[in-house]
Structure 1
Amino acid sequence: MPQSEGNASMEPLGKEPRGILVKLARHYGYCMGVELAIKKALETAAQTGRVWTDGPIIHNNEVVEKLRGHGIEKLRSDADLRPGDTVLIRAHGVPRRRLLQLEEKGVRIVDATCPHVKRAQEIISRYTGEGYKGLVIGDPEHAEIKGILGHAHGECIVVRDIEDVGKVDGDEAPFVVICQTTFSIFEIDRIFAALPLDPERDRIVKTVCRATQDRQEAARELAAQVDAVLVVGGFHSANTNRLAGICREINPRTYHIETADDITPEMLRDVDSVGITAGASTPDWIICRVVSRLKEV
Protein backbone atom coordinates (compact mmCIF):
# COMPACT_ATOMS: atom_id res chain seq x y z
CA MET A 1 0.00 0.00 0.00
CA PRO A 2 1.33 3.48 -0.81
CA GLN A 3 2.67 5.57 2.04
CA SER A 4 2.78 9.30 1.35
CA GLU A 5 6.02 9.80 3.26
CA GLY A 6 7.34 6.32 2.70
CA ASN A 7 10.38 5.17 0.80
CA ALA A 8 9.22 4.90 -2.79
CA SER A 9 12.09 2.92 -4.25
CA MET A 10 10.85 3.47 -7.82
CA GLU A 11 10.43 -0.29 -8.20
CA PRO A 12 7.27 -1.55 -9.94
CA LEU A 13 4.22 -1.69 -7.71
CA GLY A 14 2.55 -4.04 -10.13
CA LYS A 15 1.94 -4.69 -13.79
CA GLU A 16 -1.24 -4.85 -15.75
CA PRO A 17 -1.51 -7.38 -18.65
CA ARG A 18 0.45 -5.24 -21.13
CA GLY A 19 3.32 -4.97 -18.67
CA ILE A 20 3.03 -1.30 -17.59
CA LEU A 21 5.48 -0.40 -14.86
CA VAL A 22 3.92 1.72 -12.09
CA LYS A 23 6.19 4.02 -10.12
CA LEU A 24 5.46 6.30 -7.16
CA ALA A 25 7.16 9.61 -6.49
CA ARG A 26 9.45 9.67 -3.45
CA HIS A 27 7.06 12.11 -1.73
CA TYR A 28 3.38 12.68 -2.45
CA GLY A 29 -0.05 13.08 -0.91
CA TYR A 30 -1.24 14.45 2.43
CA CYS A 31 0.94 17.04 4.12
CA MET A 32 1.15 17.74 7.83
CA GLY A 33 -1.05 20.84 7.63
CA VAL A 34 -3.92 19.03 5.92
CA GLU A 35 -3.67 16.04 8.26
CA LEU A 36 -3.74 18.36 11.28
CA ALA A 37 -6.82 20.22 10.01
CA ILE A 38 -8.75 17.02 9.33
CA LYS A 39 -7.73 15.55 12.69
CA LYS A 40 -8.91 18.67 14.54
CA ALA A 41 -12.16 18.71 12.57
CA LEU A 42 -12.95 15.06 13.37
CA GLU A 43 -12.04 15.43 17.04
CA THR A 44 -14.16 18.55 17.37
CA ALA A 45 -17.11 17.04 15.52
CA ALA A 46 -17.01 14.03 17.85
CA GLN A 47 -17.47 16.45 20.76
CA THR A 48 -19.96 18.92 19.30
CA GLY A 49 -21.83 16.95 16.63
CA ARG A 50 -21.30 19.60 13.98
CA VAL A 51 -18.42 21.74 12.73
CA TRP A 52 -18.57 24.52 10.18
CA THR A 53 -15.40 25.07 8.15
CA ASP A 54 -14.59 28.58 6.99
CA GLY A 55 -14.06 27.63 3.37
CA PRO A 56 -13.48 24.10 2.04
CA ILE A 57 -11.30 22.22 4.50
CA ILE A 58 -9.71 20.32 1.65
CA HIS A 59 -9.89 20.52 -2.16
CA ASN A 60 -10.95 16.93 -2.64
CA ASN A 61 -14.59 16.11 -3.28
CA GLU A 62 -14.48 12.53 -2.02
CA VAL A 63 -12.87 13.52 1.27
CA VAL A 64 -15.34 16.40 1.70
CA GLU A 65 -18.25 13.96 1.30
CA LYS A 66 -16.79 11.60 3.89
CA LEU A 67 -16.29 14.46 6.34
CA ARG A 68 -19.87 15.62 5.80
CA GLY A 69 -20.95 12.26 7.17
CA HIS A 70 -19.21 13.23 10.43
CA GLY A 71 -21.05 16.55 10.66
CA ILE A 72 -18.24 18.63 9.12
CA GLU A 73 -19.50 21.03 6.49
CA LYS A 74 -18.40 24.18 4.69
CA LEU A 75 -20.01 27.35 6.00
CA ARG A 76 -22.18 28.78 3.22
CA SER A 77 -23.03 32.09 4.90
CA ASP A 78 -22.47 33.77 8.24
CA ALA A 79 -26.25 34.02 8.42
CA ASP A 80 -26.24 30.26 9.15
CA LEU A 81 -24.21 30.77 12.33
CA ARG A 82 -25.69 30.76 15.81
CA PRO A 83 -23.98 31.69 19.07
CA GLY A 84 -22.17 28.64 20.39
CA ASP A 85 -21.63 27.07 16.95
CA THR A 86 -18.14 25.79 16.15
CA VAL A 87 -16.17 27.17 13.20
CA LEU A 88 -12.89 25.61 12.13
CA ILE A 89 -10.24 27.76 10.43
CA ARG A 90 -8.75 25.60 7.68
CA ALA A 91 -5.04 25.10 6.99
CA HIS A 92 -4.88 28.11 4.63
CA GLY A 93 -5.58 30.50 7.49
CA VAL A 94 -7.70 33.68 7.36
CA PRO A 95 -7.17 37.44 7.67
CA ARG A 96 -7.22 38.95 11.15
CA ARG A 97 -10.49 40.75 10.39
CA ARG A 98 -12.18 37.43 9.65
CA LEU A 99 -11.32 36.16 13.11
CA LEU A 100 -12.87 39.31 14.59
CA GLN A 101 -16.03 38.79 12.53
CA LEU A 102 -16.40 35.26 13.86
CA GLU A 103 -15.76 36.36 17.44
CA GLU A 104 -18.53 38.94 17.10
CA LYS A 105 -20.87 36.10 16.11
CA GLY A 106 -20.24 34.42 19.46
CA VAL A 107 -19.02 31.17 17.92
CA ARG A 108 -16.31 28.84 19.14
CA ILE A 109 -13.26 29.11 16.89
CA VAL A 110 -10.98 26.11 16.32
CA ASP A 111 -7.82 27.29 14.61
CA ALA A 112 -6.38 24.64 12.28
CA THR A 113 -4.11 27.04 10.38
CA CYS A 114 -1.04 25.16 9.16
CA PRO A 115 1.94 25.98 11.43
CA HIS A 116 3.99 26.98 8.37
CA VAL A 117 1.25 29.40 7.27
CA LYS A 118 0.95 30.71 10.83
CA ARG A 119 4.70 31.45 10.79
CA ALA A 120 4.34 33.41 7.53
CA GLN A 121 1.47 35.40 9.05
CA GLU A 122 3.55 36.21 12.12
CA ILE A 123 6.55 37.29 10.03
CA ILE A 124 4.53 39.66 7.84
CA SER A 125 2.77 41.07 10.91
CA ARG A 126 5.98 41.64 12.87
CA TYR A 127 8.08 43.27 10.18
CA THR A 128 5.37 45.40 8.56
CA GLY A 129 4.62 46.58 12.09
CA GLU A 130 8.26 47.67 12.32
CA GLY A 131 8.08 49.68 9.11
CA TYR A 132 9.10 47.16 6.46
CA LYS A 133 7.08 46.95 3.28
CA GLY A 134 5.61 43.51 2.64
CA LEU A 135 6.63 41.66 -0.51
CA VAL A 136 4.83 38.35 -0.89
CA ILE A 137 5.61 35.82 -3.62
CA GLY A 138 2.55 33.77 -4.49
CA ASP A 139 -0.91 33.74 -6.04
CA PRO A 140 -2.91 36.81 -4.93
CA GLU A 141 -6.17 34.87 -5.43
CA HIS A 142 -5.14 31.99 -3.16
CA ALA A 143 -6.76 31.83 0.28
CA GLU A 144 -3.40 31.53 2.01
CA ILE A 145 -2.10 34.76 0.47
CA LYS A 146 -5.33 36.60 1.30
CA GLY A 147 -4.96 35.43 4.88
CA ILE A 148 -1.30 36.48 5.08
CA LEU A 149 -2.05 39.93 3.68
CA GLY A 150 -4.77 40.27 6.29
CA HIS A 151 -2.12 40.10 9.02
CA ALA A 152 0.05 42.86 7.55
CA HIS A 153 0.29 46.37 8.93
CA GLY A 154 0.42 48.57 5.87
CA GLU A 155 0.87 48.04 2.15
CA CYS A 156 2.13 44.81 0.58
CA ILE A 157 3.12 43.87 -2.96
CA VAL A 158 2.22 40.42 -4.30
CA VAL A 159 4.46 38.96 -7.01
CA ARG A 160 2.98 36.00 -8.86
CA ASP A 161 5.54 35.63 -11.67
CA ILE A 162 8.44 37.24 -13.47
CA GLU A 163 6.11 39.72 -15.17
CA ASP A 164 5.12 41.10 -11.74
CA VAL A 165 8.71 41.88 -10.77
CA GLY A 166 8.36 45.24 -12.50
CA LYS A 167 5.98 46.32 -9.74
CA VAL A 168 8.86 46.27 -7.24
CA ASP A 169 10.94 49.42 -6.86
CA GLY A 170 14.23 48.64 -5.15
CA ASP A 171 14.47 52.23 -3.88
CA GLU A 172 11.33 51.91 -1.75
CA ALA A 173 11.36 51.24 1.97
CA PRO A 174 13.11 48.06 3.14
CA PHE A 175 11.17 44.92 2.33
CA VAL A 176 10.19 41.88 4.30
CA VAL A 177 9.94 39.07 1.73
CA ILE A 178 8.01 35.85 2.26
CA CYS A 179 6.53 33.17 0.01
CA GLN A 180 3.27 31.27 -0.25
CA THR A 181 4.07 28.00 1.53
CA THR A 182 2.81 25.86 -1.37
CA PHE A 183 4.14 27.94 -4.27
CA SER A 184 6.42 26.52 -6.97
CA ILE A 185 9.98 26.42 -5.66
CA PHE A 186 11.24 26.70 -9.24
CA GLU A 187 9.17 29.83 -9.92
CA ILE A 188 10.30 31.31 -6.59
CA ASP A 189 13.95 30.86 -7.61
CA ARG A 190 13.29 32.61 -10.92
CA ILE A 191 11.51 35.48 -9.19
CA PHE A 192 14.18 35.91 -6.50
CA ALA A 193 16.88 36.09 -9.18
CA ALA A 194 15.03 39.01 -10.81
CA LEU A 195 13.97 41.00 -7.74
CA PRO A 196 15.94 44.15 -6.85
CA LEU A 197 16.61 43.10 -3.26
CA ASP A 198 19.37 44.12 -0.89
CA PRO A 199 20.27 41.28 1.53
CA GLU A 200 21.69 43.77 4.00
CA ARG A 201 18.61 46.00 3.95
CA ASP A 202 15.74 43.57 3.37
CA ARG A 203 14.46 40.71 5.51
CA ILE A 204 14.16 37.68 3.20
CA VAL A 205 12.46 34.53 4.52
CA LYS A 206 11.71 31.62 2.19
CA THR A 207 8.58 30.31 3.87
CA VAL A 208 7.87 27.45 1.44
CA CYS A 209 7.31 24.38 3.60
CA ARG A 210 9.55 21.33 3.33
CA ALA A 211 6.68 19.07 2.26
CA THR A 212 6.01 21.32 -0.74
CA GLN A 213 9.66 21.33 -1.72
CA ASP A 214 9.98 17.56 -1.36
CA ARG A 215 6.87 16.86 -3.42
CA GLN A 216 7.81 19.25 -6.22
CA GLU A 217 11.37 17.96 -6.50
CA ALA A 218 10.17 14.36 -6.42
CA ALA A 219 7.52 15.07 -9.06
CA ARG A 220 10.08 16.58 -11.44
CA GLU A 221 12.41 13.62 -10.88
CA LEU A 222 9.62 11.13 -11.52
CA ALA A 223 8.41 12.85 -14.68
CA ALA A 224 11.82 12.32 -16.29
CA GLN A 225 11.80 8.58 -15.57
CA VAL A 226 8.46 7.43 -16.98
CA ASP A 227 6.45 7.54 -20.22
CA ALA A 228 3.41 9.17 -18.61
CA VAL A 229 2.52 10.75 -15.27
CA LEU A 230 -0.75 10.71 -13.35
CA VAL A 231 -1.07 13.57 -10.86
CA VAL A 232 -3.84 12.69 -8.42
CA GLY A 233 -5.79 15.40 -6.64
CA GLY A 234 -8.75 17.75 -6.69
CA PHE A 235 -9.17 19.79 -9.86
CA HIS A 236 -9.53 22.91 -7.69
CA SER A 237 -6.41 22.14 -5.64
CA ALA A 238 -3.76 24.78 -6.36
CA ASN A 239 -0.87 22.62 -5.18
CA THR A 240 -2.03 19.66 -7.29
CA ASN A 241 -2.34 21.86 -10.36
CA ARG A 242 1.15 23.15 -9.62
CA LEU A 243 2.52 19.59 -9.43
CA ALA A 244 0.88 18.82 -12.77
CA GLY A 245 2.49 21.90 -14.29
CA ILE A 246 5.92 20.94 -12.98
CA CYS A 247 5.58 17.41 -14.37
CA ARG A 248 4.24 18.69 -17.70
CA GLU A 249 7.33 20.87 -18.20
CA ILE A 250 9.38 17.65 -18.19
CA ASN A 251 6.87 15.16 -19.55
CA PRO A 252 4.06 16.34 -21.89
CA ARG A 253 2.13 13.13 -21.20
CA THR A 254 1.10 14.35 -17.76
CA TYR A 255 -2.53 13.93 -16.74
CA HIS A 256 -4.26 15.53 -13.77
CA ILE A 257 -6.92 13.15 -12.45
CA GLU A 258 -9.13 13.37 -9.38
CA THR A 259 -10.00 9.70 -8.99
CA ALA A 260 -9.28 6.34 -10.59
CA ASP A 261 -12.43 6.75 -12.67
CA ASP A 262 -10.72 9.53 -14.62
CA ILE A 263 -8.13 7.17 -16.12
CA THR A 264 -8.77 6.50 -19.81
CA PRO A 265 -7.19 4.03 -22.27
CA GLU A 266 -5.86 6.96 -24.29
CA MET A 267 -3.71 8.06 -21.33
CA LEU A 268 -1.98 4.67 -21.41
CA ARG A 269 -1.68 4.21 -25.16
CA ASP A 270 1.88 3.13 -26.12
CA VAL A 271 2.99 3.57 -22.51
CA ASP A 272 5.39 1.16 -20.82
CA SER A 273 5.76 3.04 -17.52
CA VAL A 274 3.47 5.32 -15.52
CA GLY A 275 4.47 7.57 -12.65
CA ILE A 276 2.10 8.58 -9.87
CA THR A 277 2.27 11.60 -7.63
CA ALA A 278 -0.45 13.34 -5.65
CA GLY A 279 -1.34 16.70 -4.16
CA ALA A 280 -1.39 17.56 -0.48
CA SER A 281 -5.17 17.05 -0.38
CA THR A 282 -5.06 13.47 -1.65
CA PRO A 283 -5.31 10.64 0.91
CA ASP A 284 -3.55 7.31 0.46
CA TRP A 285 -6.78 5.39 -0.13
CA ILE A 286 -7.50 7.37 -3.31
CA ILE A 287 -3.95 6.72 -4.54
CA CYS A 288 -4.37 3.00 -3.81
CA ARG A 289 -7.46 2.96 -6.02
CA VAL A 290 -5.48 4.56 -8.85
CA VAL A 291 -2.75 1.92 -8.54
CA SER A 292 -5.35 -0.86 -8.55
CA ARG A 293 -7.09 0.58 -11.60
CA LEU A 294 -3.83 0.68 -13.55
CA LYS A 295 -3.53 -3.06 -13.03
CA GLU A 296 -7.01 -3.53 -14.49
CA VAL A 297 -6.97 -1.26 -17.55
Structure 2
Amino acid sequence: MIIKRAEKMGFCFGVSGAVNLCEKIIKKNNSLFENIYILGMLVHNKNVVNELVLKGFKILLEEDLLNGKINLSPKDLVVIRAHGTTKEIYNILKKSNCKLYDATCIFVEKIRKALIEAEEKGNEILFIGDKFHPEVKGIISFGKNIKIFASYEEFINFKIDEKVSYTLLTQTTFNKEIFFKIKDYIVVNFKNIEIYSKICGATYERQRAVEKLASEVELVLVVGDKTSSNSKKLLELSKNINENSHLIEDKSQLDLNWFKGISMVGITAGASTPEKIIIEIEKYIRGNLDDKHGL
Protein backbone atom coordinates (compact mmCIF):
# COMPACT_ATOMS: atom_id res chain seq x y z
CA MET A 1 0.00 0.00 0.00
CA ILE A 2 1.18 3.51 -0.79
CA ILE A 3 0.74 6.08 1.96
CA LYS A 4 1.02 9.68 0.84
CA ARG A 5 1.24 12.62 3.21
CA ALA A 6 -0.17 16.08 2.49
CA GLU A 7 2.54 18.60 1.64
CA LYS A 8 1.56 20.70 4.67
CA MET A 9 0.12 19.10 7.81
CA GLY A 10 0.38 18.78 11.58
CA PHE A 11 1.54 21.23 14.24
CA CYS A 12 1.47 24.93 13.36
CA PHE A 13 3.96 27.28 15.01
CA GLY A 14 1.32 28.57 17.46
CA VAL A 15 0.59 25.07 18.74
CA SER A 16 4.30 24.18 18.83
CA GLY A 17 4.99 27.32 20.83
CA ALA A 18 2.24 26.55 23.37
CA VAL A 19 3.33 22.93 23.85
CA ASN A 20 7.02 23.85 24.10
CA LEU A 21 6.19 26.50 26.70
CA CYS A 22 4.45 23.90 28.85
CA GLU A 23 7.34 21.46 28.48
CA LYS A 24 9.77 24.17 29.67
CA ILE A 25 7.54 24.98 32.64
CA ILE A 26 7.48 21.30 33.65
CA LYS A 27 11.28 21.18 33.62
CA LYS A 28 11.91 24.46 35.43
CA ASN A 29 8.94 25.42 37.60
CA ASN A 30 7.14 22.27 38.67
CA SER A 31 8.52 22.37 42.22
CA LEU A 32 8.18 26.13 42.65
CA PHE A 33 4.36 26.24 42.65
CA GLU A 34 1.61 24.44 44.52
CA ASN A 35 -0.43 24.09 41.32
CA ILE A 36 0.39 24.45 37.64
CA TYR A 37 -2.67 24.91 35.44
CA ILE A 38 -3.62 25.04 31.80
CA LEU A 39 -6.64 27.25 31.18
CA GLY A 40 -9.01 24.88 29.35
CA MET A 41 -7.53 22.78 26.52
CA LEU A 42 -4.12 24.18 25.65
CA VAL A 43 -4.78 23.11 22.06
CA HIS A 44 -7.70 21.21 20.54
CA ASN A 45 -6.21 17.76 20.88
CA LYS A 46 -7.06 15.49 23.82
CA ASN A 47 -3.92 13.38 23.41
CA VAL A 48 -1.66 16.42 23.73
CA VAL A 49 -3.54 17.75 26.77
CA ASN A 50 -3.67 14.34 28.49
CA GLU A 51 0.11 13.99 28.17
CA LEU A 52 0.61 17.35 29.84
CA VAL A 53 -1.74 16.33 32.66
CA LEU A 54 0.32 13.17 33.20
CA LYS A 55 3.40 15.38 33.50
CA GLY A 56 1.85 17.50 36.25
CA PHE A 57 -0.52 20.07 34.78
CA LYS A 58 -4.08 20.47 36.02
CA ILE A 59 -6.94 21.72 33.84
CA LEU A 60 -8.43 25.01 35.04
CA LEU A 61 -11.97 25.60 33.83
CA GLU A 62 -13.09 29.14 33.02
CA GLU A 63 -16.49 28.55 34.62
CA ASP A 64 -14.79 27.63 37.90
CA LEU A 65 -12.94 30.96 37.86
CA LEU A 66 -16.11 32.86 37.00
CA ASN A 67 -18.10 31.10 39.74
CA GLY A 68 -15.40 31.54 42.37
CA LYS A 69 -14.92 27.78 42.78
CA ILE A 70 -11.17 28.21 42.45
CA ASN A 71 -9.29 31.09 44.02
CA LEU A 72 -5.79 31.47 42.66
CA SER A 73 -2.81 32.84 44.55
CA PRO A 74 0.86 33.73 43.83
CA LYS A 75 1.62 30.06 44.55
CA ASP A 76 -0.28 29.04 41.41
CA LEU A 77 0.91 29.08 37.79
CA VAL A 78 -1.51 29.37 34.86
CA VAL A 79 -0.89 28.97 31.13
CA ILE A 80 -3.49 30.60 28.89
CA ARG A 81 -4.34 28.30 25.98
CA ALA A 82 -3.38 28.96 22.36
CA HIS A 83 -6.93 30.12 21.53
CA GLY A 84 -6.77 32.87 24.18
CA THR A 85 -9.58 33.66 26.58
CA THR A 86 -12.10 36.37 27.46
CA LYS A 87 -11.43 39.81 28.86
CA GLU A 88 -13.21 38.87 32.09
CA ILE A 89 -10.97 35.85 32.63
CA TYR A 90 -7.85 37.90 31.93
CA ASN A 91 -8.96 40.37 34.62
CA ILE A 92 -9.57 37.59 37.14
CA LEU A 93 -6.17 36.05 36.45
CA LYS A 94 -4.33 39.36 36.77
CA LYS A 95 -6.06 40.23 40.04
CA SER A 96 -5.14 36.84 41.53
CA ASN A 97 -1.40 37.63 41.25
CA CYS A 98 -0.76 34.10 40.01
CA LYS A 99 2.24 33.43 37.80
CA LEU A 100 0.78 33.90 34.32
CA TYR A 101 2.04 32.66 30.95
CA ASP A 102 0.09 33.58 27.83
CA ALA A 103 0.36 31.04 25.00
CA THR A 104 -2.25 32.82 22.86
CA CYS A 105 -1.49 32.50 19.14
CA ILE A 106 -0.04 35.67 17.64
CA PHE A 107 -2.77 35.75 14.97
CA VAL A 108 -5.47 35.69 17.65
CA GLU A 109 -3.70 38.55 19.44
CA LYS A 110 -3.56 40.59 16.22
CA ILE A 111 -7.29 40.15 15.56
CA ARG A 112 -8.11 41.12 19.14
CA LYS A 113 -5.94 44.23 18.81
CA ALA A 114 -7.55 45.13 15.46
CA LEU A 115 -11.02 44.84 17.03
CA ILE A 116 -10.11 47.19 19.89
CA GLU A 117 -8.53 49.73 17.54
CA ALA A 118 -11.46 49.62 15.10
CA GLU A 119 -13.98 50.30 17.86
CA GLU A 120 -11.82 53.11 19.24
CA LYS A 121 -12.10 54.92 15.91
CA GLY A 122 -15.87 54.40 15.83
CA ASN A 123 -16.25 51.41 13.50
CA GLU A 124 -18.80 48.66 14.05
CA ILE A 125 -17.48 45.10 13.92
CA LEU A 126 -18.56 42.35 11.52
CA PHE A 127 -17.01 39.03 12.53
CA ILE A 128 -16.90 35.84 10.45
CA GLY A 129 -16.51 32.64 12.44
CA ASP A 130 -18.03 30.17 14.88
CA LYS A 131 -19.52 32.07 17.83
CA PHE A 132 -19.26 28.95 20.01
CA HIS A 133 -15.52 28.51 19.44
CA PRO A 134 -13.30 29.57 22.38
CA GLU A 135 -11.09 31.67 20.10
CA VAL A 136 -14.07 33.68 18.87
CA LYS A 137 -15.60 33.99 22.35
CA GLY A 138 -12.31 35.36 23.62
CA ILE A 139 -11.80 37.88 20.82
CA ILE A 140 -15.32 39.32 20.77
CA SER A 141 -15.33 39.74 24.57
CA PHE A 142 -13.00 42.70 24.02
CA GLY A 143 -15.66 44.44 21.91
CA LYS A 144 -19.09 45.94 22.49
CA ASN A 145 -21.70 45.31 19.79
CA ILE A 146 -20.41 42.71 17.32
CA LYS A 147 -22.34 41.00 14.53
CA ILE A 148 -21.16 37.40 13.98
CA PHE A 149 -21.67 35.38 10.77
CA ALA A 150 -20.93 31.68 10.30
CA SER A 151 -21.30 31.58 6.51
CA TYR A 152 -21.47 33.53 3.26
CA GLU A 153 -25.25 33.16 3.22
CA GLU A 154 -25.61 34.66 6.69
CA PHE A 155 -23.40 37.57 5.72
CA ILE A 156 -25.19 38.55 2.51
CA ASN A 157 -28.54 38.42 4.32
CA PHE A 158 -27.38 41.06 6.79
CA LYS A 159 -28.52 44.62 6.06
CA ILE A 160 -25.43 46.80 5.72
CA ASP A 161 -26.04 50.43 6.67
CA GLU A 162 -24.13 52.52 4.14
CA LYS A 163 -23.95 55.39 6.64
CA VAL A 164 -21.98 53.27 9.11
CA SER A 165 -18.26 52.46 8.98
CA TYR A 166 -17.52 48.77 9.56
CA THR A 167 -14.46 46.59 10.11
CA LEU A 168 -14.62 42.94 9.00
CA LEU A 169 -12.64 40.43 11.11
CA THR A 170 -12.29 36.65 10.85
CA GLN A 171 -11.61 33.60 12.96
CA THR A 172 -8.02 32.45 12.36
CA THR A 173 -9.12 29.01 11.10
CA PHE A 174 -12.00 30.19 8.91
CA ASN A 175 -12.29 28.61 5.45
CA LYS A 176 -10.30 30.98 3.25
CA GLU A 177 -12.28 30.24 0.07
CA ILE A 178 -15.50 31.33 1.81
CA PHE A 179 -13.67 34.40 3.10
CA PHE A 180 -12.60 35.28 -0.46
CA LYS A 181 -16.22 34.93 -1.57
CA ILE A 182 -17.36 37.32 1.16
CA LYS A 183 -14.51 39.70 0.36
CA ASP A 184 -15.43 39.79 -3.33
CA TYR A 185 -19.06 40.48 -2.41
CA ILE A 186 -17.98 43.40 -0.21
CA VAL A 187 -15.62 44.89 -2.80
CA VAL A 188 -18.36 44.88 -5.47
CA ASN A 189 -21.16 46.22 -3.26
CA PHE A 190 -19.78 48.34 -0.42
CA LYS A 191 -17.19 51.01 0.22
CA ASN A 192 -17.74 51.40 3.95
CA ILE A 193 -16.36 48.04 5.12
CA GLU A 194 -12.69 47.84 6.08
CA ILE A 195 -11.45 44.26 5.65
CA TYR A 196 -8.91 42.89 8.13
CA SER A 197 -8.13 39.19 7.68
CA LYS A 198 -5.64 37.30 9.79
CA ILE A 199 -6.60 33.81 8.77
CA CYS A 200 -3.59 31.75 9.77
CA GLY A 201 -1.21 31.14 6.88
CA ALA A 202 -0.58 27.61 8.15
CA THR A 203 -4.33 26.96 8.09
CA TYR A 204 -4.59 28.12 4.49
CA GLU A 205 -1.59 26.02 3.41
CA ARG A 206 -3.11 22.92 5.01
CA GLN A 207 -6.47 23.56 3.36
CA ARG A 208 -4.90 23.81 -0.09
CA ALA A 209 -2.68 20.79 0.55
CA VAL A 210 -5.59 18.54 1.54
CA GLU A 211 -7.50 19.50 -1.61
CA LYS A 212 -4.50 18.48 -3.71
CA LEU A 213 -4.07 15.26 -1.73
CA ALA A 214 -7.76 14.32 -1.98
CA SER A 215 -7.56 14.44 -5.78
CA GLU A 216 -4.53 12.16 -5.89
CA VAL A 217 -5.48 9.25 -3.58
CA GLU A 218 -8.34 6.80 -3.12
CA LEU A 219 -8.89 7.40 0.60
CA VAL A 220 -8.03 10.32 2.88
CA LEU A 221 -7.41 10.15 6.62
CA VAL A 222 -7.64 13.48 8.43
CA VAL A 223 -5.94 13.04 11.80
CA GLY A 224 -7.17 15.43 14.45
CA ASP A 225 -9.36 15.94 17.47
CA LYS A 226 -13.07 15.95 16.68
CA THR A 227 -13.44 19.24 18.58
CA SER A 228 -10.77 20.89 16.41
CA SER A 229 -12.13 23.56 14.08
CA ASN A 230 -9.27 23.34 11.59
CA SER A 231 -9.40 19.51 11.50
CA LYS A 232 -13.14 19.56 10.75
CA LYS A 233 -12.55 22.06 7.96
CA LEU A 234 -9.86 19.82 6.46
CA LEU A 235 -12.36 16.95 6.44
CA GLU A 236 -15.01 19.14 4.82
CA LEU A 237 -12.65 20.28 2.07
CA SER A 238 -11.41 16.74 1.46
CA LYS A 239 -14.94 15.31 1.24
CA ASN A 240 -15.85 17.92 -1.38
CA ILE A 241 -13.28 16.28 -3.63
CA ASN A 242 -13.04 12.72 -2.31
CA GLU A 243 -16.08 11.31 -0.52
CA ASN A 244 -13.90 8.54 0.89
CA SER A 245 -12.46 10.82 3.61
CA HIS A 246 -12.49 10.18 7.37
CA LEU A 247 -11.60 12.15 10.51
CA ILE A 248 -9.85 10.06 13.16
CA GLU A 249 -8.16 11.00 16.43
CA ASP A 250 -5.73 8.06 16.59
CA LYS A 251 -5.10 4.55 15.25
CA SER A 252 -7.86 3.04 17.45
CA GLN A 253 -10.48 4.71 15.27
CA LEU A 254 -9.32 3.14 12.01
CA ASP A 255 -11.89 0.88 10.36
CA LEU A 256 -10.33 -1.97 8.37
CA ASN A 257 -13.29 -2.01 6.01
CA TRP A 258 -12.30 1.42 4.69
CA PHE A 259 -9.19 -0.08 3.10
CA LYS A 260 -10.71 -2.91 1.08
CA GLY A 261 -9.62 -2.54 -2.53
CA ILE A 262 -7.57 0.58 -1.70
CA SER A 263 -3.99 0.86 -2.92
CA MET A 264 -3.21 4.52 -2.12
CA VAL A 265 -4.07 6.30 1.13
CA GLY A 266 -3.56 9.98 1.84
CA ILE A 267 -2.91 11.37 5.32
CA THR A 268 -3.20 14.91 6.57
CA ALA A 269 -3.44 16.29 10.09
CA GLY A 270 -4.88 19.25 11.93
CA ALA A 271 -2.69 21.98 13.37
CA SER A 272 -2.90 20.47 16.88
CA THR A 273 -2.02 16.90 15.92
CA PRO A 274 1.38 15.64 17.15
CA GLU A 275 3.73 13.85 14.78
CA LYS A 276 3.89 10.70 16.89
CA ILE A 277 0.15 10.02 16.42
CA ILE A 278 0.56 10.31 12.65
CA ILE A 279 3.51 7.90 12.74
CA GLU A 280 1.53 5.41 14.85
CA ILE A 281 -1.26 5.42 12.25
CA GLU A 282 1.19 4.92 9.38
CA LYS A 283 2.87 2.03 11.22
CA TYR A 284 -0.49 0.42 11.95
CA ILE A 285 -1.54 0.59 8.30
CA ARG A 286 1.77 -0.82 7.05
CA GLY A 287 2.14 -3.42 9.78
CA ASN A 288 -1.42 -4.73 9.93
CA LEU A 289 -3.51 -3.94 6.89
CA ASP A 290 -0.99 -5.12 4.33
CA ASP A 291 -0.59 -8.46 6.12
CA LYS A 292 -4.25 -9.09 6.89
CA HIS A 293 -5.90 -7.84 3.73
CA GLY A 294 -3.17 -8.09 1.12
CA LEU A 295 -3.68 -4.48 0.15
Q: TM-score, normalised by structure 2?
A: 0.89
Residue identity in the other structure for 1:161: S
Name structure 1 gaps, 5 residues minimum.
1-19
Matches within 5 A, 1:1-297: 20-49=1-30, 50-76=35-61, 77-78=64-65, 79-84=69-74, 85-152=76-143, 154-165=144-155, 166-195=157-186, 200-295=191-286, 296-297=288-289
Q: How many residues were matched structurally?
A: 277
Q: d(CA) in 2 for partners of 1:201 and 1:26? A: 39
Which has more helix, going by share of residues? Answer: 2
Q: Contact between 1:255 and 1:267, CA under 8 Å: does it hold in 2?
A: no
SS for the counterpart of 2:22 is helix
Matched position secondary structure for 1:40: helix
Kindly indicate whether the alpha-carbon contact (under 8 Å) linking 2:164 and 2:192 is maintained by their aligned counterparts in 1: no
Using the alignment, how far apart are the partners of 2:188 and 2:104 within structure 1?
A: 30
**Percent identity over the alignment?**
28
TM-score w.r.t. the length of structure 1 is 0.88
- Give the Å deviation of 1:162: 2.1
Correspondence for 2:293 = none
Find the residue that maps to 2:217 and give its secondary structure. coil
Asked if the contact 1:133–1:176 (Cα under 8 Å) also holds between the matched residues in 2, the reply is yes
CA contact (8 A) 1:232 1:282 kept: yes
* CA drift at 1:266: 1.2
Question: Structure 1 runs of 4+ off > 3 angstroms?
Answer: 193-201
Shift of 1:170: 4.1
Letter in 2 for 1:125: I
**Secondary structure of 1:80's aligned partner:** coil
Question: Aligned to 2:147, what secondary structure does the other structure show?
Answer: strand
Cα 1:168/1:95, change in 2 over 3 Å: farther
1:132-160 superposed Cα distances (whole Å, 9 cap, x missing partner)? 111111111111111111122x3111111
Instruction: Note the C-alpha offset of 1:207.
Output: 0.8
Q: Secondary structure at the match of 2:272?
A: coil
- The whole-number CA distance in structure 1 between the counterparts of 2:104 and 2:200 is 14
Q: Unaligned 5+ residue runs, structure 2?
A: 290-295
- Give the aligned CA root-mean-square deviation in angstroms: 1.7
Moved more, 56-65 or 216-225: 56-65
CA deviations on 1:59-118 (whole Å, 9 max, x unpaired) are 222222211122122113232343111111111111222210112223222111101111
Q: Shift of residue 273 of structure 1?
A: 0.9
Q: Would you say the 8 A contact 1:41–1:51 is kept in 2?
A: no
1:22-58, Cα deviation, whole Å (9 max, x unpaired) = 1000000001111111111222233332421111112
How far apart are the structure 1 equivalents of 2:12 and 2:6?
14
Task: Tell me how far 1:196 sits from its aligned partner.
Answer: 7.3
